[in-house]
Chain A
Amino acid sequence: MKNQSKWFASPKGSRRWREARRAYFIWCPLIFYTSIWSLIPLLYGLYLGFTDYNGLGGKPVWVGLKNFETFFLISEFPILLLRQVLLGAATLAVNTVLSFGMALLLNVKSRLKGIYRTAIYVPAVAASTTTTAIWVALLNPLGDQGLNRIITSLGGNAIAWNYSALWMFFWIVIYNSWKNIGPAVILWLGGLQGIDPSLYEAAQVDGASFWQQVRYITIPGLKYITMYILLTGIIAAMQMFDTVMLISGGNPYGQTDVLMFRIYRDGFRNFNLGMAGAESLILGLATIVFAVGYFNLQQKGDTR
């Protein structure tokens, strides 16, 4: 209290307050913008989860937990959540391993380094609608089209990709990894270049092999980068829907459908805004549980 009155009374305190006021003034528009376009719609969406509303005439009708009951009564919904987690986990695992490997390969002195890095990053900035259209064309089930043309020319039988949940799952994971590998590689590279080179020199002097150096120097040195990539990867995995929508459409007969795609369909095709709100809340809570759980695991590891 004494310090506070000193702070207000002193010329230095009032200058500090003036500077703080200026800072608030500058980021006030951003808060205003975020509240109008993000926070209020988010809260309204959560409210809709407790209502029955199709956007036609009248106001949302309060139905309490009915939408949540529907979610757990129809087995399909929890399965969609589980599939979101599995598909997301598979994509994250493949993407993390591949991007780390790519970063190790790119962490060399080469004149063409810039070209390779650009090439790896291009899929991340290409529009999903365009790139998925190309993949869908490659996955044409006819024997003389797309990948099947290569398979049949090698003497194999054409594969009806859209008949197999396993194949569609595979292609969704591959596409997502291909699309998102670029940003992860750049982050890994940044981390690799932050590791003190003298550690590697010392390890070489002690006779450590390449894999030993990776295991005992590189990986520990990238701990915080790894944490960031995995944490943001978990959040992205729980939001994945455009790939599913554009490549498999949730097919065959819903076997690659995920909760996020279901939320989109309930919200913007079926106009069951209440159900979409309830599903969003459940997915959001699940994402928080995974993200916080992973973060706590990391923190415990640090404490040990």
Chain B
Amino acid sequence: MKRFFLLSLALCISAVLVFAGGRPQSGGSTAAKSGPTLTVSMLGYTDTQMATWENTLRENRAIAQEKGITLVNDGLTGEGYYRIKNRQDAEKMFPDVNWEWVDWGWAETLDTKQRSMIAAGTPPTMLAGEGFFPAYAEAGMLQEVPAYVLQGLNKNFIYYGINGKPYGVAMKTSPFMLFYNKELMRKAGLDPNKPPTTWAEWKAMAKQITDAGKGTFWGGGIPSFPHLGGGLRATPFFRQNGTDFALNGRPNLNDPKLQETLQFIREMNAFFPPGLGNGTDEDPLWKAFQEDQTIAFAINGSWQETSCLNWGMDYGVAPLPIPSGGRAGNCLVGTVYCGVPVGIPQAETDIFWKFYKEIGLGENNIIYLQYENLMIPAQKYLDDQRYYQGKGKESLKISVYEMGASSFGGVAVFLKSHSEVWDILNNQVLARTTISNDPIARICSEAQSKIETLTR
């Protein structure tokens, strides 16, 4: 009896310890269908999210009916509405497909999950990402995007690898633009309807505002956060000056034009309160700009306009100032590229691209344009002037201008150790430029040497 008891106890402990891990969360329908299984993230809500939104929808509609009002998107966010509609339309268009709608978060969480699945030999049907998407492409992990998917799409939304082939298409993005607080400009004696158009004008205006503020409000400059948030915002200025962090996939830190741009970023940092433009946490800067309204100029994507409206700011939006002798240049931000990994069977690949082209990049995509002020890839929607009318659409007009004035993509891509190189650039080049007074040439040569050793 004692032996039996001990044996049972040992087996129970084994079972609990080994199998205690929870089942992976699945968002698909429980009844298996005859078609293939597609695992899709970022484009549709999971079962749990659908249930939550359905409850929210019911409550919102009840409130709207009670108060006799009409809610935009039934009170749902544009992102939520887009994913709900995608899922509903996909399940109607492909009734035999087993859809696994998953939510793996964003940034590192998504990257880690996707890489784990690839390493385990069970890649999902699609890979999504922004800053880490190039790593997938350059590692040969992605299939080429079929030509028919690219028809009618603005080229800025297509991720081209270093070999020039298309590996991903983004469903939304935004260039950077200059947001400015008209009230602070008035207080400093500046014309609030004449934003700066050149670097020299911008620097002079920022100085005038900072001097007038006497520590209560500031002009603002170019953020140099010690992470990709800084690298993204600095990149347009390098490109305007005819340079970039990378040249043919190799670091380019000894370029005099690049160092000249870093000098400008350092000078503009003087118009932030110390620590605000280069802190680890971005939130204090955005709070200071949109809530406290103590910063006059901000560099952000088109979504900033909604925040300006919500906080009741008397704001303006303008294209980024350019250097004298320079040209328009920009960088995409908030870009969600989607691609299909190699090894996915042709049938699943075909279904995914058909779904993405006709549903994800079809009429549902307009939700981002209409309600979140984000650019979408289909040129026919981008050209439709109806979406640029009304209040709060200035940033969309600037986005269209920027996309026409220059050709740009995401941040510079490095052939080797892309993420580690960007770690060095964000921390030891950008942040060091604005935090320390070390000579820029020395900052750049030290970083160049480290990167060359790392990528040898």
Q: Residues of A with Cβ closer than 8 Å to B?
A: 22, 25-26, 28-30, 32-33, 36, 54-57, 70, 73-74, 76, 136, 140-143, 145, 158, 160-163, 248-254, 265-266, 268-272
Instruction: Given A140-B284, A272-B420, verify A158-B453 contact (CB < 8 Å).
Output: no
Decide: A270 and B420 in contact? CB cutoff 8 A. Answer: yes
Instruction: Given A140-B284, A141-B279, A142-B273, verify A55-B215 contact (CB < 8 Å).
Output: no
State the CA gap A6–B165 with chains docked (Å).
78
Decide: A56 and B136 in contact? CB cutoff 8 A. Answer: yes
State the CA gap A73–B278 with chains docked (Å).
29
Query: Is B432 interfacial (CB 8 A cutoff)?
Result: yes
The 4 closest A-B pairs by CB, nearest first: A141-B275, A160-B275, A160-B274, A270-B419
Point out the residue from B9, B115, B274 that lies within 8 Å of A26, measured CB to CB: B9
Decide: B140 and A57 in contact? CB cutoff 8 A. Answer: yes
Further contacts, 19 of them, CB under 8 A, given A158-B274, A162-B435, A270-B417: A29-B13, A30-B17, A32-B14, A36-B18, A56-B115, A56-B118, A56-B139, A141-B284, A142-B276, A142-B288, A143-B215, A163-B275, A248-B280, A249-B226, A252-B436, A253-B436, A254-B428, A271-B419, A272-B419
Decide: B141 and A57 in contact? CB cutoff 8 A. Answer: yes
Which of chain A's residues have a CB closer than 8 A to the CB of B276? 141-142
Q: Residues of B with Cβ closer than 8 Å to A?
A: 3, 6-7, 9-10, 13-14, 17-18, 108, 111-112, 115-116, 118-119, 135-136, 139-141, 215, 226-227, 273-276, 278-281, 284, 288, 342, 417, 419-420, 423, 427-428, 431-432, 435-436, 450, 453-454
Decide: B284 and A142 in contact? CB cutoff 8 A. Answer: yes
Which of chain A's residues have a CB closer than 8 A to the CB of B420? 266, 270, 272
State the CA gap A64–B139 with chains docked (Å).
21
Point out which of B111, B112, B227, B427 has the most chain A C-beta atoms below 10 A from its C-beta: B427
By beta carbon, the residue of chain A nearest B432 is A253
By beta carbon, the residue of chain A nearest B127 is A56
Decide: B135 and A271 in contact? CB cutoff 8 A. Answer: yes
Decide: A254 and B10 in contact? CB cutoff 8 A. Answer: no
A-B contact pairs, 10 of them (CB 8 A): A26-B6, A70-B454, A142-B284, A162-B279, A248-B280, A252-B436, A253-B226, A253-B427, A253-B431, A253-B435
Decide: A271 and B453 in contact? CB cutoff 8 A. Answer: no
Instruction: Given A76-B450, A250-B427, A271-B115, verify A25-B280 contact (CB < 8 Å).
Output: no
Report B289 CB to chain A, min CB distance, Å: 12
Which of chain A's residues have a CB closer than 8 A to the CB of B278? 162
Which of chain A's residues have a CB closer than 8 A to the CB of B281? 136
Which of chain B's residues have a CB closer than 8 A to the CB of A266? 420
Decide: B280 and A22 in contact? CB cutoff 8 A. Answer: no
Decide: A26 and B10 in contact? CB cutoff 8 A. Answer: yes
Report A243 CB to chain B, min CB distance, Å: 13
Which of chain A's residues have a CB closer than 8 A to the CB of B108? 268-269
Instruction: Given A55-B115, A268-B108, A268-B112, verify A145-B140 contact (CB < 8 Å).
Output: no
State the CA gap A55–B136 with chains docked (Å).
10
By beta carbon, the residue of chain A nearest B277 is A141
State the CA gap A108–B10 with chains docked (Å).
45
Report B247 CB to chain A, min CB distance, Å: 22
Report A215 CB to chain B, min CB distance, Å: 44
Decide: A251 and B112 in contact? CB cutoff 8 A. Answer: no
Decide: A272 and B141 in contact? CB cutoff 8 A. Answer: no
Which of chain A's residues have a CB closer than 8 A to the CB of B115? 54-56, 271
By beta carbon, the residue of chain A nearest B17 is A33
By beta carbon, the residue of chain A nearest B112 is A268
State the CA gap A162–B432 with chains docked (Å).
12
Instruction: Given A26-B9, A252-B435, verify A74-B140 contact (CB < 8 Å).
Output: no
Decide: B118 and A55 in contact? CB cutoff 8 A. Answer: yes
Decide: B273 and A143 in contact? CB cutoff 8 A. Answer: yes
State the CA gap A293–B141 with chains docked (Å).
47
Decide: B453 and A74 in contact? CB cutoff 8 A. Answer: yes
Decide: B118 and A162 in contact? CB cutoff 8 A. Answer: no
Decide: A269 and B274 in contact? CB cutoff 8 A. Answer: no
Decide: A56 and B435 in contact? CB cutoff 8 A. Answer: no
By beta carbon, the residue of chain A nearest B343 is A57
State the CA gap A141–B283 with chains docked (Å).
12
By beta carbon, the residue of chain B nearest A254 is B427
Decide: B135 and A56 in contact? CB cutoff 8 A. Answer: yes
Decide: B454 and A74 in contact? CB cutoff 8 A. Answer: yes
Decide: B435 and A25 in contact? CB cutoff 8 A. Answer: no
State the CA gap A2–B284 with chains docked (Å).
79
By beta carbon, the residue of chain A nearest B275 is A141
Decide: A29 and B17 in contact? CB cutoff 8 A. Answer: yes
